Amino acid sequence: MGYNKEYYIDALAAVAERKKEAEAIADMETKTVQISYPEIQEIENKINEIGLEAVKSAVKLSGTADLIKLKEQYESLAKQRDELIAKYKVDVKLLSPQYRCKKCNDTGYENGKLCECVKAIAKEKYYKDLCQQMPLERSTFENFDLSLYPDDCVSNMNEIFKFCKDYADGFNPTSKSLLFFGRTGLGKTHLSLAIANGVIDKGYSVIYGSSQNFLKQIEDEAFGRKSGDTLNALLDCDLLILDDFGTEFLSSFISSAIYNILNTRALKSMPTVISTNLSLGEINSVYGERIFSRIIGNYVIKQFTGKDIRQVQMVKNNS
Ligand SMILES: [Zn+2]
């Protein structure tokens, strides 16, 4: 997929920074060895001299005898150097730059084309920008509070909590899709974001955000009001989390965009997590049979129960 040019420019700058850093570290390590073990440096200097002489005699064609002699000297010096390196336990690997990307050695290009590492950085940044409105850090499994639910709902919510945690722990790009429904304030967004956190930690690409915002953005981009590639990002990420499904302004464009997203991901067995305040019946009547059947046929459905936990929390804090 393509992003705005700025994403690639930023990604190339980040890769150039990695290259500089790797080379600076190697440089520093080399200088440390030169200072700490001058005898290694002396041998190294002699080896360099022999190299130069070998080039000269090869150019002069002054016979193979010289070259054989030089080769013997070189081998003897190299052996001494290796012995010293072993004796002082010098980590030779650190003396040459340890580039992060083995494909392009952090140049950003492989065979004249943009390297995968640049594309990965651009993608990560683009995804982050798409998700920036949601408070990811604040919603984890650790700070999900089951004590805020009334007694008759605790066992259901405990089951959902465990299910979500297992889902995040065992996530893979063909995990099932999930639908969370229930009234507002029952922890649907919290657990969706906790899943996002867990799945991001496992190294997968996740896009999460309000369904309404994403669809507005897709519409603006489709009609040239904004630049970007939100639709492809939503189709492409390992896990898509659509929060507050059902609050979109449903034009025929938005309707078909929703169908396109859910259908394409379902056909490729790519997981989507939807949370909504609508009941199943309302999803059917609002979105119609085509979208409803996509969800019912493919999603694991969890109904959230309880009282609005934000209100419960407020009462608890004030008492
Ligand atoms: Zn690379």
Residues 164 and 312 in one domain: yes
Give the CATH number, domain containing residue 219: 3.40.50.300
- pLDDT tens-digit series, residues 278-306: 999 999 999 999 999 999 988 999 999 98
Q: How far is the CA of 114 from the centre of ligand 1 (A)?
A: 8
Give the integer Cα–Cα distance in Å for 150 and 155: 10
Cβ atoms of residues 177 and 272 within 8 Å? yes
Whether the per-residue pLDDT at 309 is higher than 90: the answer is no
Residues 58 and 148 in one domain: no
Residues 75 and 138 in one domain: no
Instruction: State the pLDDT at residue 315.
Output: 75
- Provide the phi-psi class of 103: left if phi over 0, else alpha when psi is between -120 and 50, else beta: alpha
Residues 40 and 143 in one domain: no
Characterize 253-282 residue by residue with b for buried, 16 or more Cβ atoms within 10 angstroms of its Cβ, and e for exposed.
ebbebbeebbeebbeeebbbbbbbbbeeee
Does residue 245 lie within any of the structural domains? yes
Higher pLDDT, 105 or 58: 105
- pLDDT tens-digit series, residues 86-137: 999 989 888 999 999 999 999 999 999 999 999 999 988 888 888 877 777 7
Mean pLDDT of 175-198: 94
Residues 97 and 138 in one domain: no
Q: How far is the CA of 12 from the centre of ligand 1 (A)?
A: 10
Q: How far is the CA of 22 from the centre of ligand 1 (A)?
A: 14
| Domain limits for position 70 | 18-101
Token match 């995990």: residue? 175
Q: How far is the CA of 117 from the centre of ligand 1 (A)?
A: 4
Does residue 108 lie within any of the structural domains? no
Does residue 37 lie within any of the structural domains? yes
Mean pLDDT of 154-173: 96
Does residue 41 lie within any of the structural domains? yes
Whether the per-residue pLDDT at 63 is higher than 70: the answer is no
Q: How far is the CA of 208 from the centre of ligand 1 (A)?
A: 27
Q: How far is the CA of 14 from the centre of ligand 1 (A)?
A: 11
Instruction: State the pLDDT at residue 134.
Output: 75
Instruction: State the pLDDT at residue 168.
Output: 97
Does residue 157 lie within any of the structural domains? yes
Give the integer Cα–Cα distance in Å for 51 and 34: 19
Residues 185 and 251 in one domain: yes
Q: Is the dihedral of CA 304, 190, 167, 232 positive or negative?
A: positive
Residues 164 and 303 in one domain: yes
Q: Residue 174: pLDDT band by 50, 70, 90 thresholds?
A: very high
3-state secondary structure of 62: coil
pTM (2 d.p.): 0.74
Residues 169 and 215 in one domain: yes
Residues 177 and 75 in one domain: no
Does residue 126 lie within any of the structural domains? no
Whether the per-residue pLDDT at 58 is higher than 80: the answer is no
Instruction: Give me the chain's average pLDDT, please.
Output: 91
Q: How far is the CA of 100 from the centre of ligand 1 (A)?
A: 8
Instruction: State the pLDDT at residue 206.
Output: 93
Taking alpha carbons only, the member of 130, 167, 179 closest to residue 296 is: 179
Q: How far is the CA of 115 from the centre of ligand 1 (A)?
A: 5
Q: How far is the CA of 116 from the centre of ligand 1 (A)?
A: 6
Whether the per-residue pLDDT at 161 is higher than 90: the answer is yes
Q: How far is the CA of 234 from the centre of ligand 1 (A)?
A: 25
Residues 147 and 263 in one domain: yes
Instruction: State the pLDDT at residue 158.
Output: 96
Instruction: State the pLDDT at residue 29.
Output: 93
Q: How far is the CA of 130 from the centre of ligand 1 (A)?
A: 24
Q: Residue 241: pLDDT band by 50, 70, 90 thresholds?
A: very high
DSSP 305-317: -SS-HHHHHHHHH
Q: How far is the CA of 18 from the centre of ligand 1 (A)?
A: 10
- If one counts every other C-beta atom within 10 angstroms of the C-beta of residue 228, the result is 16
Residues 39 and 140 in one domain: no
Instruction: State the pLDDT at residue 187.
Output: 93
Instruction: State the pLDDT at residue 123.
Output: 87
Q: How far is the CA of 120 from the centre of ligand 1 (A)?
A: 9
Mean pLDDT of 184-190: 92
Q: How far is the CA of 228 from the centre of ligand 1 (A)?
A: 24
Q: How far is the CA of 102 from the centre of ligand 1 (A)?
A: 7
3-state secondary structure of 250: coil
Q: Residue 78: pLDDT band by 50, 70, 90 thresholds?
A: very high
Q: How far is the CA of 171 from the centre of ligand 1 (A)?
A: 27
Q: Residue 310: pLDDT band by 50, 70, 90 thresholds?
A: confident
Mean pLDDT of 141-157: 92
Q: How far is the CA of 110 from the centre of ligand 1 (A)?
A: 7
Does residue 127 lie within any of the structural domains? no
Does residue 240 lie within any of the structural domains? yes
Residues 235 and 163 in one domain: yes
Q: How far is the CA of 68 from the centre of ligand 1 (A)?
A: 41
3-state secondary structure of 103: coil
Instruction: State the pLDDT at residue 3.
Output: 64
Q: How many domains does the chain have?
A: 2
Q: How far is the CA of 107 from the centre of ligand 1 (A)?
A: 7
Question: What is the percentage of the chain residues whose pLDDT exceeds 90?
Answer: 70
Q: Residue 61: pLDDT band by 50, 70, 90 thresholds?
A: low
Instruction: State the pLDDT at residue 46.
Output: 93
Question: What is the percentage of the chain residues whose pLDDT exceeds 70?
Answer: 98
